[in-house]
Amino acid sequence: MLISVVVDYLVSIRMPTSTQRIKHKLLLTSLVVNLGLLFYFKYLIFFSETAIGLANVFGAQVDPLVMKIILPLGISFYTFQTISYTVDVYRGLIKPERDFVLYGCYVTFFPQLVAGPVLRAIEVIPQFANRVKFSWLDISTGLRRILYGLFLKVVIADNIAPLVDDGFLMPVDTMSALDVWTLAFLFGFQIYFDFSAYSHIALGSARLMGICFPENFNFPYIATSPKDFWGRWHISLSSWIRDYLYLPLAGIKVHDRSIGGLANATLAGGSSSTKKKYRSLFMTWAIMGLWHGANWTFVLWGIYHSIVIVIYRIVAPVTRGFHDRLKVIGGMVVTLPIMMLAWVPFRAENLNDAVQMWLKVFDPSAYGVLGMRENAYLAAAFVMASIFLTYWVKNKLILIVMGMRRGDILVVAGEVLVFSIMIPLVIIFLRPINQFIYFQF
């Protein structure tokens, strides 16, 4: 990390006074250093093994390499932050930060360092530069977010995890199509609650210190389209991919904030051809999949999403004349299973298992048997119903609370009731069993 921090700091300081040609070279230096370190620690073994495997397929007997490389914690996240900083300085969106300690704080700020959200300099460096005044509102808001995150992690995600682990240990040939659907939904719920829990804890921890992070999740499973989903899921990452990968590849104007996710990509202006946009789309999603892990299952996950988005762009104009309510309900009914099915290669052990599980879904004869324990199916149904109920209640409560003051008795009573339930459950289930899923990325 220290190498990339120093290089990017020196590069950014030099850029404003350099010619355009020198700026290009400085930017290239930053990208080579950052991506080179990421490649060495995260992908060298993967691509070496892939190359050796291909060589063996074509008859060349190559012995496998023995390499032991320890993956630095959070390297994917802070690499993205250092790249975005240098690129933003190059684009003229921000001025270089000359205080090295302040810039170092931006890259190494601990609450989100190991799993996001992916921060941008324009969002946090100005907050670091201004001394924050103590605020009880920051303390209370931060503690509530941390508690909420702990609840999602230890009470919900960690109790779904054993069902997911047991299910994916089953031989694929013994699974039914309903088993595949159930596992896809259960893992979708697990990774959502697990990762959104970390995001809540990160946002809450930062808020305790008076620092506000952008939101990272917004009920993704009530999305009405793939575009809507990626405006709600891991918003900071999908926004980063949009602005520093997809839009530049497609030749379209970029954004400067971690908002909107990939949902805003089609709203940006530009004269890029449709062919170029689709080519950029597939490249972006393949890279985004590989970013999540050095395994071809993640690349398959990315390609799946790119195909889904292309189909959506083709079909979307046909639905414009539908009634709004019909579009919302129909969109949710169609989008939810499509997005859940994407989690199969994300969790599967290998490509063969992922493909075989997908084939089960499209085999009518595979729907007649249930191979898992009954509680797995019940858990999937219960969690799905709870998500919709929570979303509905939250929207209703917002309308009610908007007409009240924060100190009103009903608001206080509601908060006391919620936290009186959550705190004992967190204490009961709090145990060091499962780390956060995104720690591996």
Using CA atoms, how far residue 187 sits from 196, 228, 332, 347, 428, in Å, is 14, 20, 19, 8, 23
Q: Which two tokens stand for residue 130?
A: 């201004």
Classify each residue of 169-183 as buried b or exposed e, where b means 16 or more C-beta atoms within 10 Å of its C-beta. Answer: eeebeebbbbbbbbb
Measured from the Cβ of residue 44, the count of other Cβ atoms closer than 10 Å reads: 14
Q: Which two tokens stand for residue 157?
A: 């995600």
Q: Measured in Å, how far apart are the chain's first and last C-alpha atoms?
A: 16
Measured from the Cβ of residue 346, the count of other Cβ atoms closer than 10 Å reads: 22
Helix axes 100-108, 121-129, angle to 10 degrees: 120
What's the rounded Cα separation, in Å, for the pair 283 and 342? 18
What's the rounded Cα separation, in Å, for the pair 329 and 167? 30
Do 146 and 204 contact (CB within 8 A), yes or no?
yes
Q: Is the peptide bond before 117 cis (omega within 30 degrees of 0)?
A: yes
Using CA atoms, how far residue 231 sits from 21, 75, 226, 344, 348, in Å, is 36, 24, 9, 21, 25
Q: Which residue's entry shows tokens 């804890």?
A: 201
What's the rounded Cα separation, in Å, for the pair 14 and 329? 53
Q: Which two tokens stand for residue 169?
A: 């240990």
Please confirm, yes or no, whether 24 is among the known catalytic residues. no
Q: Which residue's entry shows tokens 């762009």?
A: 313
Catalytic-role residue among 200, 234, 292, 305: 292
What's the rounded Cα separation, in Å, for the pair 346 and 188? 10
Catalytic site positions: 292
